[in-house]
């Protein structure tokens, strides 16, 4: 009888645990089991928390995070794709915003792949993809918001006294990179703090590029350029976060961070030309040395106060400063292997471009309940950016004023928003409006370009509605409008003449892109299965497109214009299945159809694209953790052409020691086929030219890492998070997003 009662009690405990699981929105990501006198309760903690408006990936509890970079983790995040050249897209678009702990980071917005491939994943707690930003989010970023939450959690509510500290140190070395990082967080009385620092030196190996450029028509000719480059990229980052509980109802926060990377790239190329103006043909060689340095400082002060005892009403005030200087030097030296021509200028040239950008942001956010079921969010924000550019150009070491440029750029944005959030039984909804008034002014002190001033306003609506069929299953309908302002690199009319046969420059007359999106989201999970499905359609009637053409001097010009009408329909699926308590399978993928047209350029293109990451996490004997992943992508289409897909295989093995304080990890990556390299082809066609490029990127690499955790408490500490957001983003095409460290001279 006693044994029967015990058995029944154990069964009841198991049932209650499972019931609790099915009524809780779980977002943990490890698997645990508990033996209860013959009854084994197994529960899968999930990597993904899926809501109607946002998807969160739990990096901190992913076993692979100890040996991976943030870029590696992004390959697992739903709605995010990282291609073979480390270009990042969100829902198929490169127009997205990057935040860190809810605050903008200029470095990550302008060069996300560079930063994320150097940042260890152990520094990050979670990655949020805000697929349907509400009115309180900035209108910038057509595809949404990518928010990086750093690894820190709150020890207690305000006024708590969970004194203690935690931290870790990590070092890694491999055939392509080496570096290390350190992190510490803690609490002492009313003060909570965290700090991290990291360094990484990347040497990815030689990237080779072959480009065939054909001119069509009466002046038919061909140019073939073969190049090789060897980049080196040191990267450093440090952050400090402090918060102080002024009293039981208010908190004062302070953050400061520096991010910096340097790129040194040495390359050599040969160019062969024939036909048309080139006659029987001739050739020349180019030695290119590029040095680029980019540094970003971010600092903020914010004050938050609850306005009632229930803490449902609050006010937040924030000031943020960002300063980001960039230096870019390019040295091109030519050596002729055939006779010089009278029209092609092969004089050695050197350019030195210095840019300085400063952002000031002031923001106030107010939240209050209007009833038991409805909450009002409202706020005001003012942003001011000042940027300067000084590009000096030299021919044969002689300064050329005609080819140089200097200008300053000012952009101010005043924004206000109101948003209502309601919940009625199984229904929940959100609706809001945001208005942004923009003032822009550009003054040219030197070079080709006219001073101009422009003012415009944007009214941005957003809405979502969801229905919960059960605590673990919901269906949602979303709509939003997003904008993408052209950045300096798109507006700057400065003509890049480093290639004697081609010119590249911006367009100061570009307008803001406007993108409308409608989505249907389905989420469900059980004790074994997690499923997220996102069906979405987006359209843009004035998309900024990069295009090329030949001028009267027979030089290929590349610039930008609002000539595109793009429609994209996509289906994204994330599946996580616990096959066994020691075995878990993943699928993160999607398929989309794009239709792109431009009447002004008389161009149109369309096609299907699919991508997927299929993965396995397995616990082996001796508690060794194995992670293996296949990453694949098919051909992707652009307005003027296409680029081929890729296949990558990654794997890692890890083992912990000293009661999980010490972790040793071995990881490896390779491209499938082509000797472990990625062979990427791109093709574009205009009215009078075709361009076919082949890029071979070395992918075979391995890394050994060791990490040690220390501290006097099991609690982690999270600093006060500001609610400030940034209105600015550098609108980038996929070609611009290609890792600068791997560019060869074309």
pLDDT in tens, 47-71: 777 777 778 888 887 877 776 788 8
Locate tokens 């103006």: which residue?
277
Q: How confident is the model at residue 718 (pLDDT cuts 50, 70, 90)?
A: very low
User: Are 48 and 529 a contacting pair, CB within 8 Å?
Assistant: no
Q: Which residues of 170-185 are buried (b: 16+ CB within 10 A; e: fewer)?
A: bebebebbbbbbbbbb
Greater model confidence, 600 or 441: 441
Euclidean distance between the first and final Cα of the chain, in Å?
A: 83
DSSP string, 285-320: EEEEEEEEEEEEEEEEEEEEEE-STTS--EEEEEEE
Distances (CA, A) of 647 to 81, 626, 672: 13, 20, 6
Write down the pLDDT at residue 106. Answer: 64
- Stated as kind and residue range, the H or E segment containing 17 is helix 2-22
Write down the pLDDT at residue 217. Answer: 79
Is residue 242's pLDDT more than 60?
yes
Both tokens of 575, joined, read 């599946």
Rounded to whole angstroms, the Cα distance separating 271 from 225 reads 4
Where are the strands (E) in 74-190, listed by range? 80-82, 88-90, 97-100, 103-104, 124-130, 145-150, 164-174, 177-188
Q: Does the model's pTM come out above 0.85?
A: no
Is residue 15's pLDDT more than 70?
no
**Residue 688 CB neighbours (<10 A):** 16
- Report the half-sphere exposure of 127 (CA within 13 A, side-chain side): 25
Both tokens of 408, joined, read 């300053």
**Residue 608 CB neighbours (<10 A):** 12
Rounded to whole angstroms, the Cα distance separating 16 from 366 reads 40
Write down the pLDDT at residue 426. Answer: 92
Rounded to whole angstroms, the Cα distance separating 630 from 590 reads 15
DSSP, res 69: B
Is residue 434's pLDDT more than 90?
yes
Residues whose CB is less than 8 angstroms from the CB of residue 372 and which lie 6 or more positions away in sequence, other chains included: none
Rounded to whole angstroms, the Cα distance separating 741 from 114 reads 8
Output the CA angle 714-715-719, nearest 5 degrees.
Answer: 150
- Stated as kind and residue range, the H or E segment containing 2 is helix 2-22
Is residue 281's pLDDT more than 70?
yes
Locate tokens 């890729």: which residue?
646
Is residue 113's pLDDT more than 60?
yes
- 97-100 and 145-150: which strand pairing? parallel
Tell me the three state secondary structure of residue 10. helix
Both tokens of 113, joined, read 């792949």
User: Are 640 and 734 a contacting pair, CB within 8 Å?
Assistant: no
Is residue 9's pLDDT more than 80?
no
Share of the chain above pLDDT 70, in %: 84
Write down the pLDDT at residue 261. Answer: 85
- Report the half-sphere exposure of 484 (CA within 13 A, side-chain side): 27
Write down the pLDDT at residue 719. Answer: 45
User: Are 741 and 263 a contacting pair, CB within 8 Å?
Assistant: yes
User: Are 230 and 266 a contacting pair, CB within 8 Å?
Assistant: yes
Output the CA angle 537-541-544, nearest 5 degrees.
Answer: 105
Write down the pLDDT at residue 299. Answer: 92
User: Are 143 and 530 a contacting pair, CB within 8 Å?
Assistant: no
Which range is least confidently modeled, 3-17, 232-246, 291-305, 426-440?
Answer: 3-17
Share of the chain above pLDDT 90, in %: 39
Q: What is the mean pLDDT of residues 576-580?
A: 88
Is residue 338's pLDDT more than 80?
no
Is residue 23's pLDDT more than 60?
no
Is residue 26's pLDDT more than 60?
no
Residues whose CB is less than 8 angstroms from the CB of residue 247 and which lie 6 or more positions away in sequence, other chains included: none
Is residue 332's pLDDT more than 60?
yes
Greater model confidence, 424 or 491: 424
Pseudo-torsion of CA 719, 423, 365, 100, nearest 10°? 40
Output the CA angle 176-180-186, nearest 5 degrees.
Answer: 150
Q: How confident is the model at residue 220 (pLDDT cuts 50, 70, 90)?
A: confident
**Mean pLDDT score of the chain, rounded to an integer?**
82
Which of 642, 555, 543, 650 has its CA nearest to residue 600? 543
Residues whose CB is less than 8 angstroms from the CB of residue 512 and which lie 6 or more positions away in sequence, other chains included: 438, 456, 458, 483, 484, 485, 486
**φ, ψ (nearest 5 deg) of residue 548:** -130, 155
Rounded to whole angstroms, the Cα distance separating 307 from 285 reads 69
Highest mean pLDDT among 57-61, 146-150, 640-644: 640-644
Q: What is the mean pLDDT of residues 274-283?
A: 80
Residues whose CB is less than 8 angstroms from the CB of residue 634 and which lie 6 or more positions away in sequence, other chains included: 608, 609, 610, 611, 645
Question: What sign does the dihedral 244-246-247-248 (CA atoms) show?
Answer: negative
Q: How confident is the model at residue 105 (pLDDT cuts 50, 70, 90)?
A: low
Tell me the three state secondary structure of residue 117. coil
Which range is least confidently modeled, 182-196, 360-374, 494-508?
Answer: 494-508
pLDDT tens digits, one per residue of 528-572: 888 999 999 999 999 888 888 888 787 888 889 898 899 999 999
Rounded to whole angstroms, the Cα distance separating 327 from 261 reads 11
Residues whose CB is less than 8 angstroms from the CB of residue 144 and which lie 6 or more positions away in sequence, other chains included: 79, 90, 91, 96, 97, 129, 130, 131, 132, 133, 482
Locate tokens 């004089």: which residue?
347
Burial class (CB in 10 A: 0-12, 13-18, 19+), 401: exposed
Q: Which residues of 578-587 are buried (b: 16+ CB within 10 A; e: fewer)?
A: beeebebebe
Q: What is the mean pLDDT of residues 357-373?
A: 94
Both tokens of 538, joined, read 């987006």
Write down the pLDDT at residue 725. Answer: 46
Rounded to whole angstroms, the Cα distance separating 428 from 375 reads 12
Greater model confidence, 344 or 231: 231
Rounded to whole angstroms, the Cα distance separating 19 from 38 reads 20
Q: What is the mean pLDDT of residues 440-444?
A: 87
Is residue 722's pLDDT more than 70?
no
Q: How confident is the model at residue 731 (pLDDT cuts 50, 70, 90)?
A: very low
Helix and strand numbers (H, E) in the chain are: 6, 39
Write down the pLDDT at residue 54. Answer: 78
**φ, ψ (nearest 5 deg) of residue 486:** -65, 135
Rounded to whole angstroms, the Cα distance separating 524 from 473 reads 4
């Amino acid at each position: 009888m006693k044994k029967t009662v015990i058995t029944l009690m154990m069964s009841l405990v198991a049932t209650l645990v499972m019931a609790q699981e099915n009524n809780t929105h779980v977002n943990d990501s490890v698997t645990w089991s508990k033996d209860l006198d013959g009854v084994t309760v197994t529960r899968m903690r999930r990597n993904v928390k899926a809501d109607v408006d946002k998807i969160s990936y739990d990096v901190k509890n992913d076993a692979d995070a100890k040996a991976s970079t943030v870029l590696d983790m992004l390959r697992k995040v739903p709605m995010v794709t990282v291609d073979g050249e480390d270009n990042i897209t969100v829902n198929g678009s490169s127009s997205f915003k990057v935040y860190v702990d809810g605050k903008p980071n200029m470095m990550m917005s302008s060069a996300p792949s560079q930063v994320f491939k150097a940042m260890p994943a152990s520094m990050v707690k979670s990655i949020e993809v805000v697929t349907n930003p509400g009115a309180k989010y900035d209108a910038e970023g057509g595809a949404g918001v990518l928010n990086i939450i750093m690894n820190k959690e709150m020890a207690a509510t305000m006024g708590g006294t969970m004194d203690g500290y935690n931290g870790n140190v990590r070092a890694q070395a491999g055939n392509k990179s080496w570096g290390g990082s350190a992190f510490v967080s803690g609490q002492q009385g009313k003060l909570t703090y965290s700090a991290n620092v990291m360094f990484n030196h990347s040497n990815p190996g030689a990237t080779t590029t072959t480009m065939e450029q054909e001119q069509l028509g009466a002046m038919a000719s061909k140019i073939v350029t073969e190049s090789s480059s060897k980049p080196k990229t040191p990267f450093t980052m440090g952050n400090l976060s402090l918060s102080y509980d002024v009293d039981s109802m208010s908190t004062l926060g302070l953050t400061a961070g520096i991010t910096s990377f340097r790129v040194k790239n040495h390359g050599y190329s040969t160019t062969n030309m024939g036909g048309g103006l080139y006659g029987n043909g001739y050739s020349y060689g180019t030695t290119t040395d590029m040095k680029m340095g980019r540094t970003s400082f971010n600092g903020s002060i914010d004050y938050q106060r609850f306005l009632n005892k229930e803490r449902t009403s609050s006010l937040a005030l924030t000031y943020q400063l960002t300063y980001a200087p960039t230096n870019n030097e390019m040295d091109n030296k030519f050596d002729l292997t055939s006779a010089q021509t009278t029209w092609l200028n092969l004089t050695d040239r050197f350019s030195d471009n210095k840019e300085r950008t400063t952002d000031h942001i002031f923001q106030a956010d107010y939240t209050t309940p209007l009833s038991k079921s409805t909450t009002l969010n409202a706020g005001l924000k003012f942003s001011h950016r000042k940027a300067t550019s000084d590009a000096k150009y030299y021919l044969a070491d002689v300064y050329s004023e005609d080819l140089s440029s200097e200008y300053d750029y000012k952009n101010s944005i005043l924004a206000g928003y109101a948003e209502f959030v309601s919940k009625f039984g199984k229904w929940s909804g959100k609706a809001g409006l945001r208005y942004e008034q923009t003032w822009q002014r550009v003054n040219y002190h030197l070079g080709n370009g006219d001073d101009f001033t422009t003012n415009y306003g944007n009214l941005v609506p957003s809405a979502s509605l969801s229905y919960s069929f059960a605590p673990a299953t919901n269906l949602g309908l979303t709509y939003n409008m997003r904008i993408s302002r052209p950045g300096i690199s798109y507006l700057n009319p400065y003509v890049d003449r480093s290639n004697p046969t081609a010119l590249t420059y911006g367009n100061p007359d570009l307008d803001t892109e406007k993108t409308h999106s409608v989505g249907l989201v389905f989420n469900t999970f059980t004790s074994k299965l997690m499923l997220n499905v996102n069906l979405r359609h987006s359209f843009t009637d004035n998309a900024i497109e990069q295009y090329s053409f030949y001028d009267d001097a027979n030089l290929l010009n590349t610039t930008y214009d609002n000539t595109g009408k793009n429609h994209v329909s996509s289906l994204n699926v994330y599946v996580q299945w616990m096959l066994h308590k020691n075995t878990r399978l993943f699928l993160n993928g999607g398929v989309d159809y794009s239709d792109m047209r431009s009447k002004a350029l008389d161009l149109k293109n369309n096609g299907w694209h699919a991508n997927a990451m299929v993965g396995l996490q397995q616990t082996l004997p001796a508690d060794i953790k194995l992670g293996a992943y296949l990453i694949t992508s098919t051909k992707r289409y652009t307005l003027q052409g296409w680029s081929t897909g890729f296949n990558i295989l990654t794997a890692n093995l890890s083992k912990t020691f000293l009661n999980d304080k010490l972790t040793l990890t071995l990881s490896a990556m390779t491209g499938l086929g082509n000797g472990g390299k990625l062979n990427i082809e791109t093709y574009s066609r205009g009215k009078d030219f075709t361009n076919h490029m082949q890029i071979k990127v070395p992918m075979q690499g391995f890394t050994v890492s060791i990490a040690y955790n220390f501290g006097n408490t099991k609690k982690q500490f999270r600093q006060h998070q500001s609610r400030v957001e940034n209105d600015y983003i550098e609108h980038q095409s996929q070609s611009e997003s290609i890792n600068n460290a791997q560019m060869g001279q074309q």
